[in-house]
Amino acid sequence: IFSQVLLAPADPILGLTDTFKADPRQDKVNLGVGIYKDEAGQTPVLTSVKKAEAILLEQEKTKNYLGIEGVQAYNHVVQTLLFGEGSALITSGRAATAQAPGGTGALRIAAEFLLRNTDSHTIWVSNPTWANHQNIFETAGLAVKEYGYYKAEAHDIDFDTMMTDLSHANAGDVVLLHGCCHNPTGIDLTLAQWERVAQLCADKKLVPLFDFAYQGFGAGIEEDAAGLRLVASKVPELLVANSFSKNFGLYNERIGAVTVVAEDADAAVRAFSQVKRTIRANYSNPPAHGALIVSTILNDAGLKAMWVQEVKEMRERIAEMRTLFVDSLKAEGVTQDFSFISRQNGMFSFSGLNKAQVARLKDEFGVYIVGSGRISVAGMTKTNMPVICKAIAQVL
Ligand code: PMP
């Protein structure tokens, strides 16, 4: 039976990392996958995380199963990060959060919950969006439609098309929104644009699903939640899938959460019971370590301050690399305007490089970026910048 199975295509992002690893060139650079690198090109464990792990090693008394929803103290701090200290959404009981294995796991649980318990079976995602979105939603059984988001010539948002496309959505359709640091374009909505999206969702009874994987990598931990909080103040129902892979550097701990916001506390209890049922059918209950790290840090004023500082350093280093990239390209004699890169947010930018140029970067220069032209700015350092910019100057 298995001999009939066809070979799956390589994953567009993780498959690139496999090729990168097999590349023998010394000065190769991986700007494909979204992993934060420090100035030394490393992805070290955050100091706040190491300290929390030391506490856990000392104090952990059991490896007993968690409940289906995970660590309760963790779920509580997630809500505070999302909606703000003392938010009425939290105190009213309208929000219910379950720990999930990464942002990916949270998106999958959200999708399956919608499919099995509601009439919301269509989800609108931005064009372009993170390469795994369509895969996750279609595999879960949702129909995926696209709304325009990006004007390639202007390297800017195409907000009019976004609004026009979403005006064709039906009541009950789900709209996937990137909370901040849009992946892959690095272009976020302004507050005025969030306001209009919120109004459209409210008027047309669309259900926002926030993918919030980069809180703290845009303007700041609280600042980056502004769009989510604004939309949450205008619509009766929404979902959030958040991830701590990037902002806590907990990539391989697989830690995120799915949050349902319902019209009232009673509806939230019922919705949450079905979220738990979905989790039970998928992996029964989540692993503990990542959640215990995050809740230990966020419930300790000293560790939290340390984490806030570490996120700030990551955010500022990425911003510095954006400026250096633009300046270095100029210094290499590139006349094309790349200044848009320094106006964008988060780990990624859409370079505008075409498939042939991307292929030459890899084959001739050992510089790996995703076929779409998406560059992980977070993988740039002062050391690899000359290699990157010389190569780009050549392929242009
Ligand atoms: N959403 C977006 C937009 C992402 O970029 C990522 C990670 N690349 C995720 C979700 C998934 O994160 P995780 O690794 O926590 O599953």
362-395 per-position pLDDT tens digit: 999 999 999 889 999 999 999 999 999 999 999 9
Ligand 1 centroid distance, CA of 393 (Å): 31
Give pLDDT, residue 121.
98
Mark whether 380 and 265 lie in a shared domain: no
Mark whether 155 and 276 lie in a shared domain: yes
Q: pLDDT tens digits for 2-22?
A: 999 999 988 878 888 889 999
Range of the domain at 37: 10-44+315-395
Ligand 1 centroid distance, CA of 137 (Å): 14
Mark whether 35 and 170 lie in a shared domain: no
Check whether 228 has a pLDDT greater than 90: yes
Mark whether 330 and 252 lie in a shared domain: no
- Domain assignment present for residue 57? The answer is no
Residue nearest to atom 9 of ligand 1 (CA): 103
What CATH number does residue 351 fall under? 3.90.1150.10
Residue 33 DSSP code: S
Ligand 1 centroid distance, CA of 350 (Å): 17
Q: What is the ipTM of this complex?
A: 0.99
Atom of ligand 1 nearest to the CA of 13: 8
Mark whether 277 and 321 lie in a shared domain: no
Cβ proximity of 378 and 347 under 8 Å? yes
Q: What is the DSSP string of 303-334?
A: HHHHHHHHHHHHHHHHHHHHHHHHHHHHHTT-
Atom of ligand 1 nearest to the CA of 244: 15
- Domain assignment present for residue 151? The answer is yes
Which residue from 123, 132, 182 has its CB within 8 A of the most atoms of ligand 1, so it is best to mutate?
132
Mark whether 161 and 220 lie in a shared domain: yes
Cα separation, 204 vs 124, whole angstroms: 14
Which residue from 99, 149, 183, 252 has its CB within 8 A of the most atoms of ligand 1, so it is best to mutate?
183
Mean pLDDT, residues 232-236: 97
Active-site residue (options: 37, 51, 246, 276): 246
Cα separation, 248 vs 216, whole angstroms: 10
Q: pLDDT tens digits for 307-345?
A: 999 999 999 999 999 999 999 999 999 999 999 999 999
Give the C-alpha distances (Å, rounded to integers) separating 150 from 21, 44, 155, 157, 336.
32, 34, 7, 5, 19
- Domain assignment present for residue 54? The answer is no
Cα separation, 126 vs 306, whole angstroms: 35
Mark whether 211 and 108 lie in a shared domain: yes
Atom of ligand 1 nearest to the CA of 102: 15
Mark whether 264 and 132 lie in a shared domain: yes
Residue 98 DSSP code: E
- Residue 224 known to be catalytic: no
Of 271, 299, 327, at which residue does a domain stop? Answer: 299
Q: Hey, how many other C-beta atoms are within 10 angstroms of the C-beta on 281?
A: 11
Active-site residue (options: 130, 165, 173, 276): 130
Mark whether 204 and 325 lie in a shared domain: no
What phi-psi label fits residue 139: left (phi over 0), alpha (psi between -120 and 50 degrees) or beta? Answer: alpha
Of 273, 299, 325, at which residue does a domain stop? Answer: 299
Give pLDDT, residue 40.
93
- Residue 61 known to be catalytic: no
Q: What is the DSSP string of 168-237?
A: TPPTT-EEEEESSS-TTT-----HHHHHHHHHHHHHHT-EEEEEE--TTSSS-TTGGGHHHHHHHHH-S-
Q: pLDDT tens digits for 40-79?
A: 999 999 999 999 999 999 999 999 999 999 999 999 999 9
Ligand 1 centroid distance, CA of 95 (Å): 22
Give pLDDT, residue 15.
84
Percent with pLDDT over 70 in the chain: 100
Cα separation, 84 vs 78, whole angstroms: 10
Give pLDDT, residue 107.
98
- Domain assignment present for residue 307? The answer is no
Which residue from 104, 126, 240 has its CB within 8 A of the most atoms of ligand 1, so it is best to mutate?
104
- Residue 124 known to be catalytic: no
Mean pLDDT of the chain: 96
* Residue ranges lining ligand 1, Cβ < 6 Å: 34, 102-104, 130, 178, 183, 211, 213, 243, 245, 256
Ligand 1 centroid distance, CA of 130 (Å): 8
Of 270, 299, 328, at which residue does a domain stop? Answer: 299
Domain tally, the chain: 2
CA atoms within 13 A on the CB side of 270: 8
Residue nearest to atom 6 of ligand 1 (CA): 213
Q: Hey, how many other C-beta atoms are within 10 angstroms of the C-beta on 224?
A: 25
- Domain assignment present for residue 274? The answer is yes
- Domain assignment present for residue 49? The answer is no
Mark whether 294 and 322 lie in a shared domain: no
Cα separation, 179 vs 194, whole angstroms: 10
- Domain assignment present for residue 350? The answer is yes
What CATH number does residue 279 fall under? 3.40.640.10
Question: How far, rounded to the nearest angstrom, does the alpha carbon of residue 294 sit from its chain's CA centroid?
Answer: 17
